[in-house]
Structure 1
Amino acid sequence: MEKTDMELKQEEEEGAPAPSVERVFDGVRVPAWREQVTVRALVVSLGLSVMLSVIVMKLNLTTGIIPSLNVASGLLGFFFVKVWTKALEQAGVLRVPFTRQENTVIQTCVVAAYGLAFSGGYGNYLFGMSSKIAGQATEADDSQNIKDPKLGWMIAFMFVVSFVGLFSLVPLRKIMIIDYKLIYPSGTATAYLINGFHTPQGENLAKKQVRTLGKFFSFSFLWGFFQWFYKSGDDCGFEAFPTLGLKAYENKFNFDFSAMYVGVGMICPHIVNASILIGAILSWGIMWPLINNQKGNWYSADLAPNSLHGLQGYRVFIAVSIILGDGLYNFLKVLTKTVQTFVSDSQKIRLSTLPVSDEVQMAKQPIVSYDDDRRIEVFLKDQIPKWVAIGGYIIVSLVSIITLPHIFPPLKWYFILVAYAVAPVLAFCNAYGCGLTDWNMASTYGKLAIFVFGAWAGAHHGGVLAGLASCGVMMSIVSTASDLMQDFKTGYLTLSSPRSMFVSQVIGTSMGCVVAPCVFWLFYKAFDDIGVPGSQYPAPYAIIYRNMAILGVDGFSALPKHCLTLCYIFFALAILINLARDLSPKKVGQCIPIPMAMAIPFYIGAAFAIDMFIGTVILFVWQKMDRAKAAAFGPAVASGLICGDGIWSLPQAVLALAQVKPPICMKFLSRKMNDRVDAFINSAS
C-alpha cells in the first residue's frame, strides 16, 4: 500500500531514512567493468567530445567563463545511446541493454576530453606564448619567449602532460570517497541525474528534457545562422545593436543577442551573474571613462588604442590584480579547510579503531545504509593495483622530463622534475578541496607555477616562456587528478567499476589530446583576428597570463602612471570582499559579489555580462513561477542554447576557411552621422 505525501513528510520530519536508490535496481545485474566500456559508448563519446570541445573553445576564446557541462554530457549521452538502442531494438538485433554504468562511462569520457579544451591553455597560457599575444604585451619581442601554435607540437604537448595527473591520486581513491566521504557536488549531481534516467519514472522525464534541449538547440543554431548574414564587416550585425544607446555601446554596454551567453547565465549561479554585471558597471561605466579623461597626463595621448602603456594597461593589470587577490585568498582558505578537515577525519578514524568496549564501539560506528553497503561492495571489488599507479606516474613523468625541454627549450629538465615532485601533494590539496567546496583551484596552482619557475629561469633565459609552459604542466596535473576523483564519486554512486572509470578517463584524455588541438587549430586558421582585443575572439586570458609571466620575471617598471597603486588597491579589495563574504551572516554573505567574477569584464567589456544577466533573470522568474519545472528543465534549456550556438561555430569556421563572407553589413549610426553618409553618397552620385 502506497504512503500518502503527508505520511512521507511526517517520516522525513521524524528522521526516517530516505528512500533507497539501490533497492530500485535490485535484481538488475551490475555488468563487469569490461562490459561497461562498450564500443557504442566510445563512439558516442567521441562525437560529444568534438561538439562540447567546440563549445568550450568558443567560450575560452571569448570570455574564458566555462560553465559545468557535466549535465549536458550525461543528458546527451543518454539521448544518443537511446536512439541507437531503439533503432537496433526495432530491427531485432539489440543484444546489450543500455545501463547506467555505460551512461557514466560516456559522461566520464566526454568530460575528460572536453576538459582538455580548457586546461590545455588554448585561451590562456598556451596561446599566450604566441607572437600575436606577445606583440600586445609590455616587453619587446624576444624570440626565446615566443612559441607560435603548430598542430604537431600542441598534440605532442597534450599527450606528454595530460596523463600524469591520472596516476597521481589513484591509490587514495578509497580514502577520499569512502573513508572521508567527500561530497564532490558536481559528481554527485551527475550521478543522481544518471540514476534518475535509468529508473522507469526517470526515463520519461529524461525524454521530456531531451526534447526540450533539442528545441532550444535548434533555435540557437538557426539564430546563429540567421545572424551570420548581417556580419560582413567590423561592428556589423546584431552583436553591434546599440540596445542601450550609442554612448553606452561605445563603452561596450549592449545586449548582443548571444544565445550562448544567455544559456551560460541560466547555468551559472545568480550571484556570479550579478557579480559580473557589477564588475562591468564599475569598470566600463565608471573607472575607464574617468581614467580616459587623464589621457595626456597619466599616459601619452599618442599611444595605439591597444597599447599596454595606456588605458589598456589599466584594464589588464587591474583585472590581473583582482584575479590574483581572489585566487590567493581562496587558495589559503581551501588549503586551511582541507588540512583542518583532514586532521579531524584522521583523528575520528584513529579513535574508531581503539580497543574499547563493544557497546561504545557500536555507538561510535556510523550506521551504514543499504545503498552505502552496496556501493562500497562494488567500489572495492575491482581494485586498481598500486604498482600501476606508481609505475605509471614514474614512467609518464620520465617521458615528460625528457620531451618537454625539446618543445620548450627554456623549460629545463630539473624544473619539470621539481614540478612532478611536488605535484602529487598539490593534486591532493586540489582534489580534497574540490570534494569539499566544488571549487577547482587548478588555475591558481598554474599561476603559482608561472611566478616560481618564471623567476627561476630569469628574464634573459626565456623566463616568460618557461613560466607559461610550467603553468601548463601544473594545471594539467592538478586538474585531471581532481576530475578523476570526481568521476570516481559519480561511479561510486552509480555502481560503476573504478576500473571502468579509470579506463574511460584514459580513453577520454586520449581523445582530448587530439580533438582539443584540432578544434583550436580550426579557430586559429579560420579567424585572422583571433586574440585581437575587440574582435569576435579576443582570448582575454591569453594576454593576462602572458603579463603575469612578465611581471614574474621583469617586475613592474613597464606599468603606466598610478597603475601599480590601483593594482594594490584592487588586490586588497578582492581579499576584503572575500573576508566580508565569509564573515557576514549567510543571508548577507551570499549577496556580496564574487571578486573573480567581477574581474572578467574589466578587460573584455560589458556585453556578455548583460547577456548572462538576462539569462539569470529568466531563470529567476521561472523559479518564482514554478520551481520544480525550472529545476527539471532549466539545465536542458540552457544546454540547448549553449550547444546550438556553439555548434554553429563549426560551420562558421568552415565558411571562413572557404573565404565565404556574409552578404550584408548591418550597422547603426547616429542621426548626424547618417545625414553625413547620405550627403556623401548623394555628392558621389
Structure 2
Amino acid sequence: MERNPSKQMAGNESDYTSEIEGRERVMVEDAFRNTEVPSWKNQITVRAIVTSFILSIVFNFIVCKLNLTTGVIPSLNVAAGLLGFAILKGYTSILSQFGLMKLPFTRQENTVIQTCVVASSGIAFSSGTASYLLGMSGKIAAQAEEGNIPINIKKLSVGWMMGFLFVVSFVGLFSIVPLRKMMILKYKLTYPSGTATAYLINSFHTPKGAKLAKRQVAVLFKSFCFSFSFALFQWFFAAADGCGFASFPTFGLQAYEKRFYFDFSSTYVGVGMICPFMVNISLLLGAIISWGVMWPLIEARKGDWYSASLSATSLHGIQGYRVFTAIAMMLGDGLYHVFFMLFQTFYSLAQQKLSHDSGDSSLDATDYDAKRRIEHFTKDQIPNWVAMLGYGILAVISIIAVPLIFHQLKWYHVLVAYAIAPVLAFCNAYGCGLTDWSLASNYGKFSIIIFSSWVGLDNGGVIAGLASCGVMMSIVSTASDLMQDFKTGYLTLASPRSMFFSQVCGTAMGCFLSPLVFWFFFKAYNVGDPEGSYPAPYGLMYRGIALLGVEGVSSLPRNCLTLAICFFVAAIVINIIREFLQKVDTRYRTYRFIPSPMCMAIPFYLGAYFAIDMCVGSLILFLWQRRNKIKASEFAPAVASGLICGESLWSVPAAILALAGVKAPLCMKFLSSSTNSKVDAFLGA
C-alpha cells in the first residue's frame, strides 16, 4: 500500500474525471480540430522543464514527508496537472499582455509537465529513502538488533544514494518501450490514472474547462494558504516532543496512550479526501484491531511471552509483534495480488489472442477521435533497437556499478535481477493497465527475501536484499509509470517521443532531488524514531523482511510466528472474499465494504492518529457530496491538494529553524489531574 497510492488509490481520481467524461460525450478531438499539434520538440519547451523542476521540488517535499510519517501517499496526478496548468497559464497570460508570447500553451505541453512531475515524485517513492535505503542505516539496525553487525549496516550519505539512483532508475524506461503500441492500440488497456489525467488536461484546454480550471486554482490557493498558516500557528506551541496540537488527546489521555487521537494534520485530512472511503475505513479498522485489542492483550503477557526488561523498540518485545504481524499481512496481500495479477494478465492475453485470431482487429478506428489519436501516436516512434540497446547498455553499467556501491551484492546477483526484471515489468505494466494497481513494492519485498537468503547473514545478506529491492522496484515501477504516461499522451495527442523524454527528464530530476530532500529531513529531525514526528515505519519493516530472509523465523518472540501466519492467511482470505463477492453480487455490490488488508496493516505499527485524520477528510468529502455532488467532484481534489501542499511546504522553513537551533516559544502539553497536582506541588516547593 505504500505505493503510490498514486496508482493504488486512484479510485477517487478516476471517479472525478469519469464524471467529466460522462458530462462530455461529444468527440474530444472535435473541439481541437482547428488547433495545430506542435512537433515533439516544441512540446518539450524550456518553460515546461523549468515549471516541472519547480513543481518537482514541491512534490518531492510532499512525498518525502508522507513517506517519513506514515508511508501513505495519495494520487498526485490531479495536483500535478492542475498546478502545471495554473503556473504556465499564468506565466503565458502575463507575457501575452506585453506581446512577448511566441508559442501558445498547449495541452501537449501541459502533459509534458505532468509527466515530468509525476516521474520525479515517483522516484521519491521508489528511491527507498524512507524504506529500503533507510533500513540499511545503523539507527534502524539498532532497533532491529538482529543482524546489527558492520557488514549488514551502511552509513547513509547523499553521494552514494544519488549515484545508486542514477545507475538503476533509467533502466526500466527502456524495458517497456517496445510494447507501447501493443498495450495501448492493440489491447486497448485503460490505464485509469493515465486516462483520468488526460481527460483532466483536455478539459482544461477547452474554453469551458479553462474557466473551471481557474476557479479550481483559486480554491487550491485558498486551501494552500489556510494549511500553511495553520501549520505555522501550530509550530508556536511545539517547543519539544509531545507538545502542541499534534499531541492533542482528543479522546482522552488513555486513548492518547494507545495512539487514538486527532493530530490536526491538514496533510492527512487532504489525503483522506483523495483516497477512497474504504481505504480510510480499513486504516481505522486495522488500528482498532491492533492498538485497541491485540497490543493491550499481548502487553498483559509481558514477562511471559517476552522479557519485561526489553525496551519498547526491541523486535524481541512488543515491537516485534507490531512489525512482523504487519509484515505478514502485507506479504499475504502482496502475494495474492501478484499471483492474481499474473493470472489476470495471462488470461487477458489469451482472450486477446482469441479475439485477434477470430478476425476482430482492435486497431480499427471507427471515429474521428480514434483516427486522430492513432495517427499522432504512431507518428514519432522510438525504434525498438534503441530501446533494447539502451536497456542492455544501462544494465551493463548497473551490473558493474551497483556491486561497487554495495559490495555485499555481487555482479551475478544484479545480472539475475536484470534478466527477470523485464518479465515482471511487463506483468506490472499490463496489470496496471487493467486495474490501476502497481505492485512494484510487492516485487521489491519478494526480491529482498530471495536475495538476502541467497547471500546469507554473515556475508551481508541484509544489505544485499535491501539493495536488490531497489534494483527491482526501480525497473518495475518506472515501466508501469511510463506506460501510464503513454496512455495520457495518446489521449492528448502528445508525441510518444516527447512522453519518453519528459519521463527521462523527470526521472533525472527525481534522482537529483530525492536524496537532497531526504537529507534535509534527516539532518533536521530525528528520522526513524518510532515515537518521533518522523517514524519512517517502512525502514524497520523492510529491514525486518530482510532479517526474515537471512534468519528465518527463529528470532521472533513467542507466539509471534503464530500470529504472523494467521494474519498472512487472513489477508489472502479477505482478498478472495472480495473477488468472490465482486463476481456474484452485482446488485448490491457488497464487495465495496470489504476492507483492504494492506491498509489494515499500516496502523499495526503506527497507531490510529493518521487514520483518524484521513477519516475526517472522508467525512468532509461525504458531507460535501451529499450537499452538492457536482461541486464536490470539481473542487474536492483542489481543496485536498492545497491542504497537502500547504502543510508539507511548511516543513521546509520548520526544518531550517530546527537546523538553526531555533525552538518554538511555547510548549502546550496535556496532563492528567493527578499528574498536574504533582507538578504544581513540585513547582510550589
Query: Structure 1 length as normaliser, TM-score?
Result: 0.95
Q: Does 1:658 align with 2:655?
A: no
1:479-498 residue pairs with structure 2 within 5 A? 479-498=477-496
Q: Which of 250, 269, 272 is residue 265 of structure 1 equivalent to? A: 272
1:493-504 residue pairs with structure 2 within 5 A? 493-504=491-502
Over 3 Å counting, the alpha-carbon distance change for 1:429 and 1:83 in structure 2 is same
1:130-209 residue pairs with structure 2 within 5 A? 130-209=137-216
Q: Does 1:623 align with 2:625?
A: yes
2:38 is matched with which residue? 31
SS in 2 for 1:226: helix
1:336 is matched with which residue? 343
Given residue 568 of structure 1, which amino acid in structure 2 is its aligned partner?
I
Distance in 2 separating the partners of 1:101 and 1:649: 33
Q: State the Cα distance separating 1:368 from its structure 2 match.
A: 2.1
Q: Which of 319, 323, 327 is residue 320 of structure 1 equivalent to? A: 327
SS in 2 for 1:23: helix
Distance in 1 separating the partners of 2:414 and 2:355: 37
1:475 is matched with which residue? 473
Distance in 2 separating the partners of 1:605 and 1:20: 48
Q: Tell me if structure 1 keeps the 8 A contact 2:523–2:659.
A: yes
Q: Tell me if structure 1 keeps the 8 A contact 2:130–2:538.
A: yes
Distance in 2 separating the partners of 1:123 and 1:479: 16
Q: Tell me if structure 1 keeps the 8 A contact 2:399–2:414.
A: yes
2:66 is matched with which residue? 59
Distance in 2 separating the partners of 1:349 and 1:506: 34
1:435 is matched with which residue? 433
Given residue 566 of structure 2, which amino acid in structure 1 is its aligned partner?
I
Q: Tell me if structure 2 keeps the 8 A contact 1:138–1:558.
A: no
1:99-498 residue pairs with structure 2 within 5 A? 99-352=106-359, 368-498=366-496
Q: Tell me if structure 1 keeps the 8 A contact 2:61–2:648.
A: yes
Query: Structure 2 length as normaliser, TM-score?
Result: 0.95
SS in 2 for 1:548: helix
Aligned-pair identity (%)? 61
Over 3 Å counting, the alpha-carbon distance change for 1:17 and 1:243 in structure 2 is closer
Greater mean alpha carbon deviation, residues 448-457 or residues 50-59: 448-457
Q: State the Cα distance separating 1:427 from its structure 2 match.
A: 0.1
Distance in 2 separating the partners of 1:489 and 1:86: 29
Distance in 1 separating the partners of 2:551 and 2:23: 63
Given residue 153 of structure 2, which amino acid in structure 1 is its aligned partner?
I
Q: State the Cα distance separating 1:129 from its structure 2 match.
A: 0.5
Given residue 147 of structure 1, which amino acid in structure 2 is its aligned partner?
K
Over 3 Å counting, the alpha-carbon distance change for 1:16 and 1:207 in structure 2 is closer
2:569 is matched with which residue? 572
1:512-561: per-residue Cα shift (whole Å, max 9, x none)? 1100110001011111x210101100000110000100100111111111
1:87-118: per-residue Cα shift (whole Å, max 9, x none)? 11112111111000000000000011111110
Distance in 1 separating the partners of 2:197 and 2:282: 26
1:221-256: per-residue Cα shift (whole Å, max 9, x none)? 111111111111111000111110110001000000
What is the number of residues matched between the two proteins?
659
Q: Tell me if structure 1 keeps the 8 A contact 2:147–2:457.
A: no
Distance in 2 separating the partners of 1:462 and 1:367: 56
SS in 2 for 1:381: coil
Distance in 1 separating the partners of 2:351 and 2:114: 33
Q: State the Cα distance separating 1:581 from its structure 2 match.
A: 0.9
Greater mean alpha carbon deviation, residues 230-239 or residues 140-149: 140-149
SS in 1 for 2:239: coil
Given residue 614 of structure 1, which amino acid in structure 2 is its aligned partner?
V
1:172-198: per-residue Cα shift (whole Å, max 9, x none)? 100001100000000000000000000
1:46 is matched with which residue? 53
Distance in 2 separating the partners of 1:349 and 1:17: 31
SS in 1 for 2:648: helix
1:633-669: per-residue Cα shift (whole Å, max 9, x none)? 0100000000101111111111111111111110001
Distance in 1 separating the partners of 2:88 and 2:612: 37
SS in 1 for 2:32: coil
1:667 is matched with which residue? 669
1:537 is matched with which residue? 534
Distance in 2 separating the partners of 1:380 and 1:626: 42
2:3 is matched with which residue? none
Gaps of 5+ in 2: 1-21
Distance in 1 separating the partners of 2:114 and 2:433: 18
Q: Does 1:76 align with 2:76?
A: no
Given residue 485 of structure 2, which amino acid in structure 1 is its aligned partner?
D
Q: State the Cα distance separating 1:349 from its structure 2 match.
A: 1.7
Q: State the Cα distance separating 1:145 from its structure 2 match.
A: 1.0
Distance in 2 separating the partners of 1:679 and 1:482: 63
Over 3 Å counting, the alpha-carbon distance change for 1:602 and 1:658 in structure 2 is same
Q: Tell me if structure 2 keeps the 8 A contact 1:534–1:604.
A: no
Distance in 2 separating the partners of 1:149 and 1:218: 35
Over 3 Å counting, the alpha-carbon distance change for 1:588 and 1:29 in structure 2 is same
1:349-406: per-residue Cα shift (whole Å, max 9, x none)? 23227xxxxxxx9xx9856221111100000000101121011001100100010001
Distance in 1 separating the partners of 2:621 and 2:341: 30
Q: State the Cα distance separating 1:505 from its structure 2 match.
A: 0.5
